[in-house]
Amino acid sequence: MGRDILKKKIGQRIIELREVKGWSQSDLARACNKDRQSIEKIENGKVNPTLYTLLEVANALEISLSKLVDIS
């Protein structure tokens, strides 16, 4: 799997998990101390988030990092 495909799949996974909670991008951004534009870029696969950023997102969504990156 290429880098761009992986970034898009991770972004889509974050969207799915965020929507299950009924959260907007702004809600998620507030929960993990990011700005909305940062979340938007991650969800759209425009940036390559660090492992720590993914951990912050997972913690905000109250899930494990492994569940966040489960893109199979």
Report the chain's mean pLDDT, rounded to a whole number: 96
pLDDT at residue 72 greater than cutoff 80:
no
Taking phi over 0 as left and psi of -120 to 50 as alpha, with beta for the rest, 51 belongs to: alpha
> 8, 28, 7, 26: which is closest to 17 by C-alpha?
28
Domain 3-68 has CATH 3.40.50.620: no
Averaged pLDDT for residues 55-72: 94
Distance of alpha carbon 48 from alpha carbon 63, whole angstroms: 20
Span 1-10, average pLDDT = 94
